[in-house]
Every structure is written in structure tokens, then in C-alpha cells.
Amino acid sequence: MTTAPSRARTPLALYALAAGAFGIGTTEFVIMGLLEQVAASLHVSIAAAGLLISGYALGVFAGAPLLTLATHRMPRKSVLLALMLIFTLGNLACAVAPNYPLLMAARVLTSLAHGTFFGVGSVVATTLVSEERKASALSIMFTGLTIATLLGVPAGAWLGLHFGWRATFWAVSAIGLLAMLVVAALVPPEHGDDAPIAVRAELRAIASAAVLRGLLMTVLGFAGVFLVYTYIEPLLTQVSGFEDTAVSPILLVFGVGMIVGNLLGGRLADRRVSMALVVTLAMLVVVLGMMGLVLHSKSLTVMFIALLGVSAFATVSPLQLWVLRQAAGAPSLASSLNIGAFNLGNAMGAWLGGMVIAHGPGLAALPWVAALVGLGGLGLAWHALRSEHAVPGRTCGPILDTRN
């Protein structure tokens, strides 16, 4: 049992969760703008520096379920505070790392907080509001991640350019400390004496076909997104003909689209999760497919970059809420696994895109291949919708307020 949810207004605790999401999102992606500096400072290649991104993503994928299981007997607020402490210490370790292996180790340490924070935070967010506002609550928390992409990452890159890459990690550490204080002050403690669920029961809950189908939807949907987004710079410069200086402003357009899509997806999922899944994934497939037709038009390309941001992040809340509701017996673990699935999709999309460029039809074909990958996720969502209709009276019931 948790404290009573606020129905009249948005609880301040949701903004505390968004603050944590902002810090975590910033540290995940800011390294992209610091690769050359890190490589030169630590005397490694650009390719080796790029592995700091892969190491982080794999740390999220592996660490999310392990850390969630390890902390499943702890109160959720205590877990969130412990995760922000790990995040802060991990970024401090990045700031002072004297060599590449220790920097990689610090990045992996930091990544361990990522999946479990979003997983446990998703469960906490849904307990703070009434049933009809749960998806919107998730979208508010994930807004911190989208704002990190829009503002935090460019600001971190600017800071690194003017004061060195270590200054960026010092700044992110300060964000982590501030987020920890805000979570401590605003997130309400749990009350009651609910017994924690046995690990075996949690594993049974997430092994259901519906949960596994939801995880696969997430992997396929975001594999399609990152199949294109990973290579957005060469797409813009080599296919669409933009100058290098135009890339950053266009990425800001993508970031604005992410914020709009994130809030839109939450509103749609509040009405009906399964329908929101079909609608948002269908929108993503259509945008990716049509993007392949307009890449040689600069104005249309910018418009579709914005639509890609909208359609990509409109899927986040429906995907997360679907998994939460299908695994009512293990919400934190299922939610954390779904965050890992997002990161696995990112890694798969980047790998498949590289294969298409190196051994396939090339850069211009990336949106079409991404649309085909996204079709797999859409097919699973359509199957989920039909399955819901096949069970009389079933509407994808509420999340159980069970400690995990």
C-alpha cells in the first residue's frame, strides 16, 4: 500500500522523478559529443571511445533485472535514493578516471542505476495518481529523459568543449546530487506491511507470453528508431545535402518532437493502452517509411525529423504501461526489463544500420529497413489488441499496487 494518489493535480514527486531521469538521460548520451576529446585525452581511437556508449547500454541491459531483484525487498523510495547515489558516485569516478579501462568501468557502474531507476520509478509514478492518469504520470517522468536529449546533452557537450570533458562529468555529478535531494524531499514513503514477493513468483510473472510479447515490441520499435537516429548525421549531410552546421539545429527539432510525442503517448495510453500501442507503432512505421521517400528534399526531411521524434517517443508510455499491467505480480522487475529492452533495441538498431550501410543498399535505405523492423513490433501490438477482444470483459486491467 502506498500513500493516497493525488487526483486533483500533478504530484510534485513526479517532477522529482523527472529530475532523476534528466540526469540519467544526460549521462547516457552526453559522451556522444565528447568522443574526440576523450579519445585524445586518454590516447585511444575514436572507435574505442565509442565503445563507452556500447558499454553503458550493455550495463543497462544486464544490470536492470539483476539490481531490481537484489533490491526487491527494499522500500521503493530507498531504492531510488540508493540508485541516485550510485549514479552520482559513478559520474564522479568518470570525472577523475586516469585511463580508459577505469573510465569504462565507471561508465558501467553508472549504467547500473539506469534501468532500475526507470523501472522502479515507473511503478512509483503510477502509484501517485488515479487509475486514469497512470500513463500521463509515466510520460511526465520520461519527459526528464527527453529534456536531457534536447538540452542536457548539448549543454554537456558545450561545457566539455570549453572546460574539458571531465568538467561535464563533474556537472552531471552535481545534477545527480540535486536529484537525490529532490527525490528525498518529495517522493512519499510507502506505508503498510505488504510482504515482498518471492523471486520465483516474480520470475513466473514476467515469463508470461503477454509480458514477453511486450518486451519484444519494445525491442523492435526502438531498433527501428535507432536504426535511423544513430546515423542521422550522415543521412542529413550525405543524402539530404545539409551542411555540417545545420545538423545541431535539426537535432533540436527532433528533441522538441520527442517532448511532444512523449506527452501525446501518455494521453493516448490513459484512454486505452492496447489501442495506443497499435496507433503509436503504426505512426512510427508510416513516418519511417515515408522518410525514405523525402530524404532528397531538405524541407520535407526537417519535417519528418520532427515527426520521427514525435512518433518515436509517443510509443514509450504505452510500451511501458503495457508491460507494467501484464506483469502485475512483478511490476518493478518487468518495468526494469522493459528499460533494458529499450537499450537492447538501441544497440540492435545501430548494429543493423551499420550492416545496411556496409553490406546492403546504403544510407538512403535506412528508413525503409527501419520501417520493416517496426512492422514486427506493430504486428505484435495488433495481436495483443485482438487477444484483448477475444477475452470478454478484458480491458487490460489496472496495475496491482504490490511491492516488488
Q: How confident is the model at residue 395 (pLDDT cuts 50, 70, 90)?
A: very low
Give me the pLDDT at residue 106, please.
95
Looking at residues 359-388, what average pLDDT do you find?
88
Give me the pLDDT at residue 86, please.
93
* Domain identity same for 132 and 51: yes
Distance in angstroms (rounded) separating the CA atoms of residues 281 and 378: 5
Name which of 57-66, 156-165, 272-281, 321-330 the model is least confident about. 321-330
* Domain identity same for 42 and 174: yes
Residue 375: is its pLDDT beyond 70? Answer: yes
Distance in angstroms (rounded) separating the CA atoms of residues 293 and 272: 32
- The rounded radius of gyration (Å) of the Cα atoms in the chain is 20
Give me the pLDDT at residue 312, please.
93
* Domain identity same for 183 and 199: no
Which of 145, 169, 187 represents a domain boundary (last residue)? 187
- Residue 1 falls within a domain, yes or no? no
pLDDT in tens, 351-361: 888 888 888 88
Looking at residues 75-81, what average pLDDT do you find?
90
* Domain identity same for 213 and 107: no
Looking at residues 199-220, what average pLDDT do you find?
81
List of residues 6+ apart from 364 with CB closer than 8 A = 235, 239, 292, 295
Give me the pLDDT at residue 400, please.
39
* Domain identity same for 173 and 231: no
- Residue 51 falls within a domain, yes or no? yes
- Residue 150 falls within a domain, yes or no? yes
Share of the chain above pLDDT 90, in %: 32
* Domain identity same for 331 and 302: yes
Residue 43: is its pLDDT beyond 80? Answer: yes
- Residue 119 falls within a domain, yes or no? yes
* Domain identity same for 263 and 309: yes
Coil, helix or strand at residue 394: coil
The most confident of 39-53, 254-268, 278-292, 327-341, by mean pLDDT: 278-292
**Could you tell me which residue, 32 or 17, shows the higher pLDDT?**
17
Looking at residues 249-274, what average pLDDT do you find?
87
Residue 202: is its pLDDT beyond 80? Answer: no
Tally of domains within the chain: 2
Q: How confident is the model at residue 311 (pLDDT cuts 50, 70, 90)?
A: very high
Give me the pLDDT at residue 172, please.
92
CA 174 to chain centre: 22
Which of 157, 187, 217 represents a domain boundary (last residue)? 187
Looking at residues 187-197, what average pLDDT do you find?
62
* Domain identity same for 245 and 116: no
Looking at residues 229-235, what average pLDDT do you find?
83
- Residue 2 falls within a domain, yes or no? no
Orientation of helix 134-147 relative to helix 12-29, angle to 10°: 40
* Domain identity same for 203 and 180: no
pLDDT in tens, 81-112: 999 999 999 999 999 999 999 999 999 999 88
**Structural domain boundaries enclosing 52:** 9-187
* Domain identity same for 99 and 215: no
Residue 22: is its pLDDT beyond 70? Answer: yes
**Could you tell me which residue, 96 or 144, shows the higher pLDDT?**
96
CA 153 to chain centre: 15
pTM of the predicted protein model = 0.75
Instruction: Identify the CA nearest to 141 among candidates 15, 255, 12.
Output: 15
Residue 290: is its pLDDT beyond 90? Answer: yes
Give me the pLDDT at residue 252, please.
84
- Residue 3 falls within a domain, yes or no? no
Domain harbouring 63, CATH code: 1.20.1250.20
* Domain identity same for 101 and 160: yes
- Residue 64 falls within a domain, yes or no? yes
Coil, helix or strand at residue 124: helix
Give me the pLDDT at residue 251, please.
80
Residue 398: is its pLDDT beyond 50? Answer: no
Which of 187, 216, 235 represents a domain boundary (last residue)? 187
**Average pLDDT, rounded, for the chain:** 84
- Residue 290 falls within a domain, yes or no? yes
